[in-house]
Amino acid sequence: MSKGRSRPSGRTTAVGERKTPYNPLAVEPRRYQEWLEGGYFHAPVDPTRRPFCIMMPLPNITGSLHMGHALNHTIQDLLTRWRRMQGYNAMWLPGTDHASIATHVVMERELAKEGKTRFDLGREKFLEFAWQWKAKYGDLIYSQIRRMGNSCDWDRVTFTMDPAYYDAVIECFLRLYQKGYIYYGKRMINWCPKDLTSVSDLEVNYQTVQSHLWYVRYPGADGGGGVVIATQRPETILADVAVAVHPDDERYAGLVGRQVIVPIVHRRVPVIADRRVDPAFGTGALKITPGHDPLDHEIGAAHGLPVLVILDERGRMTAETGAYAGMDRFEAREAVARDLEAAGLVERKEPYATNVGLCDRCRTVLEPYITDQWFCRMEALARPAIDVVRQGRVRFHPERWTKVYLDWMEHIHDWNISRRLWFGHRIPVWHCANGHQVAGRQAPVRCPHCGGSDLQQEEQILDTWFSSAAWPFATLGWPKDTPDLRYFYPTSVLVTGRDIIFLWVARMIMFGLEFVGDVPFTDVYINPTVLNIQGRRMSKSLGTGLDPLDYVEQGYGADALRFALTLRCSQGQQDLRFGEKMLEDVRNFNNKLWNAARFVRMHLGDFTPAAGVRPAACSLFDRWIRSRYGRLIGEVTASLEAFDFDKVARALYDFVWSEYCDWYVELAKVDLYRPDLDPVRRLAIQHTLWQVLEGTLRLLHPIIPHITEEIWQALPHQGKSIMIAPWPGLGDAEVDEAAEEGMATITAVVRAIRSMRADLGMAPQTPVAPVLRAGDRTRELLEAHRDYVATLARAPGLAFAGGGVRPRWAVGTVVEGVEVSIEVAEADRARARRRLTAELAAAKAELDRTIRRLQDAAFLSRAPAEVVEEDRRREAVLRDRTHVLAGYLAALD
């Protein structure tokens, strides 16, 4: 709560309403329920209308949603609601992801509390548990999405393990299998010894850790000194099959082709030459362990070396490692190092910073490990997916992500798609006893290759990203040729985070092109990452995670959270720092809007828009605010089209607060509180107040849907809900340059009077008697609007100077060609002098700068004529101002 002084309680307004701030909690759930009941979220196929479609990036069912989801969903809802109002048949499809490994990790954490693992339950029981989990967290997620006001099509909600979706995923696999893109075999992959599965290269998190480099001597088999190698992983020495050096390394030229002895196991292994060895690293000699290192694996294969394995799937030393059998890999590392030292084979040990790969999900150090794996060839899939982005058929926003995408796609590796997990889409392949594989929807009776009838389905499931790659079309009924698919595909925009451009965006583009023959979406908007106010990543485990719903229920409401996030969602920054202060700002805005609307309603009486408005009855101010509103429509619409969401929010914020409320409403009061107000004038004011507010609500609605609906329903309006009201168009209000110019003069004069009065130490309500002097046309304008200027400036004695009559002492200034002055009492002469002196100094400095420029021949000859002209005008204005200020100052003495 702010520390503002508390005001007397129980005050009521003229219409008897209690003066309490807008309370979103009383409005939002009720409005959402009405929208649901109105069926506005559902978008059935309708060939007479243009479709607009967004597929929600499916949240994992691992828990509740975080601030990143709140932002991501807000942007999608913003786009959906905007396009719906524009007349598109807008469909936003919600759903959730079974997220195999992520869900496994959280479920197993739960099981671990009872001292159990998934293996204690067994596949079947574990899957039951998974479905219960899904029911619980799926519902939680959907209720959070609803509470934020999101207008998703709930009739189409999809889960990646729904039967139809499951079948579509299997169909994708089978088609790729048919084309020969899928291959199977023993491969070295990233293995998580805790989760007991492979993970793809993209799911490895590299972290720098302090480690050691051991320099270990491998004695020559011939009794010679042999060679010294450097290693961080002494335990893998037991699986060494060679030592490699660079072929051009003269230090070892004599050794290549001879043998050295692997310490501890006393195995004789060859010294080989290979260009992949970096002679500058360590000693230039590399021990080769094909069973436990990717580079060694490659080198070993090239030289036909055997593969030895000394670690099991849990990262423990195997039974064949003698004294080390059963030790954990880290324990074994120390033990082996100790034994090497005892044997006098460690030449030295130095500290070394190295990158270790951690499991993205459980942070366990990953192990390069050889197991039976399924891979998907990517080259043929990637080629068209590169082309469509190059051709602009898929566009990234901000544009810089295009290069990130292309760089990765151009160097794409084959994709390890199998996971040794249970919750997911089981690979539809059967292995026969003779080692053949048969892919299909059902278990084959016998093996087509050998006729064998002993067939077992593959145990592994597909990578969760394999199933989500089909999201844009599997949700629409594919592989069937459905009306939904024909109508909504390709979808319009994908809104997502940069962390899954490779994992998900790239794969959707590849799958879409491969299976449907067209891009899955035409635009990709990469939203910023939400960080906390210190600029740190939000993370539950670090205790820095923020629950968006906490803030909502604390009283800020969903609209405030949506507006706060939108206001800071710019394309310039890749992160968005979120703090509670931002919610206060926007909550205050909502309250301002609410109260402005209350003012309008108070004065609308029995006004109906049908009465129309006569242009002749419109004041300068009516024309001005309509002109500003007209510009606003253009700006907001253009910014939405350009994905500049912060600009959308800011334009609306500034318009409502700084123009509509601060000026138009205040000016309208001058007339509305006039006892003898002409009914025709009243109608014009009512019409303007209503028209601009009603239209602005429509522009605001995509960002803050609940409050705009609440207000809109209380105003004269057409239609059942603001969410299906038309989007304001450029024809709704005309820009009026003359009105804007006139208004600029009036606001400048009002501000000048307020400023001078404040500088003279007069309270805002103290009446003053300013004297204005201006050229004929401006004077005419000001005289015509003197009541308004006088009221806003609290200057009942406003006068116009005819000749050179000036009070004895006065403070004055010139704004917009108008000389404004206020008489000064003797006691205030010092204050007046201070103000005039400061303003004069500033004006003089600026005048000098301008004169200097105008004396610069290069400037005069090279700058565009209008720039020079502008400077000449400025010079004249400044000369006038300094002259006037100096006059007032001199008179004070």
Partner RNA sequence: GGGCGCUUAGCUCAGAGGAAGAGCGCCUCUCUGACGCAGAGGAGGUCGGAGGUUCAAGUCCUCCAGCGCCCACCA
Residue of 206, 201, 76 whose CA lies nearest to 527: 76
- Going from the C-alpha of 403 to that of each of 134, 139, 386, 505, 847, the distances in angstroms are 37, 38, 11, 14, 48
CA angle 385, 388, 389 (to 5 degrees): 90
Closest CB to RNA among 444 and 579? 579
Residues 6+ apart with CB under 8 A from 892: 809, 824, 829, 832, 833, 836
Q: How is residue 97 annotated by DSSP?
A: B
The number of angstroms, rounded, from the C-alpha of 632 to the middle of its chain's C-alpha atoms is: 25
Bond into 448 cis (ω within 30): no
Closest CB to RNA among 754 and 786? 754
d(CA 505, CA 591): 39
In the complex, minimum distance from the CB of residue 555 to RNA, in angstroms, rounded to a whole number: 7
In the complex, minimum distance from the CB of residue 222 to RNA, in angstroms, rounded to a whole number: 24
Closest CB to RNA among 145 and 649? 649
Strands 242-245 and 267-273: parallel
In the complex, minimum distance from the CB of residue 602 to RNA, in angstroms, rounded to a whole number: 6
Closest CB to RNA among 411 and 441? 411
- Could you tell me the two tokens for 784? 């015509």
Residue 691: CB atoms within 10 Å? 19
d(CA 590, CA 27): 13
Give the containing element (helix H, strand E) for 432: strand 429-432
Closest CB to RNA among 251 and 480? 251
In the complex, minimum distance from the CB of residue 493 to RNA, in angstroms, rounded to a whole number: 21
d(CA 637, CA 354): 51
Q: For the range 342-346, what are the long-range contacts, defined as Cβ-Cβ under 8 Å and sequence gap of 24 or more? A: 343/263, 343/264, 345/216, 345/217, 345/219, 345/263, 346/214, 346/215, 346/216, 346/217
- Within 737-796, residue ranges assigned H as helices are 737-759, 776-784, 786-793
In the complex, minimum distance from the CB of residue 94 to RNA, in angstroms, rounded to a whole number: 27
Are 635 and 647 spatial neighbours (Cβ–Cβ below 8 Å)? Answer: yes
Are 871 and 843 spatial neighbours (Cβ–Cβ below 8 Å)? Answer: no
Closest CB to RNA among 499 and 678? 499
d(CA 820, CA 804): 13
Q: For the range 310-319, what are the long-range contacts, defined as Cβ-Cβ under 8 Å and sequence gap of 24 or more? A: 310/235, 310/236, 310/238, 310/239, 311/367, 311/369, 313/191, 313/193, 313/196, 313/369, 313/371, 314/193, 314/196, 315/193, 315/367, 317/235, 317/238
Are 395 and 375 spatial neighbours (Cβ–Cβ below 8 Å)? Answer: no
d(CA 25, CA 279): 68
Give the burial class of 865: count Cβ atoms within 10 A of its Cβ; 0-12 exposed, 13-18 middle, 19 or more buried: exposed
The 3-state secondary structure of 256-303, one letter per residue:
CCCEEEECCCCEEEEEEECCCCCCCCCCCEEEECCCCCHHHHHHHHHC
Exposure pattern of 487-511 as b/e (b: 16+ CB <10 Å)?
bbbbbbbbbbbbebbbbbbbbbbbb
Across the chain, which distance is largest between two alpha carbons, in Å? Answer: 118
Strands 95-96 and 158-159: parallel
Closest CB to RNA among 6 and 718? 6
Beta bridge partners of 317: 311
Counted residue by residue, the chain has a size of 893
Give the burial class of 275: count Cβ atoms within 10 A of its Cβ; 0-12 exposed, 13-18 middle, 19 or more buried: exposed
d(CA 714, CA 697): 12
CA angle 251, 256, 262 (to 5 degrees): 100
Give the containing element (helix H, strand E) for 676: none
What are the strands, taking DSSP E only, across 508-661?
521-527, 529-532, 575-578
Closest CB to RNA among 148 and 229? 229
Residue 105: CB atoms within 10 Å? 21
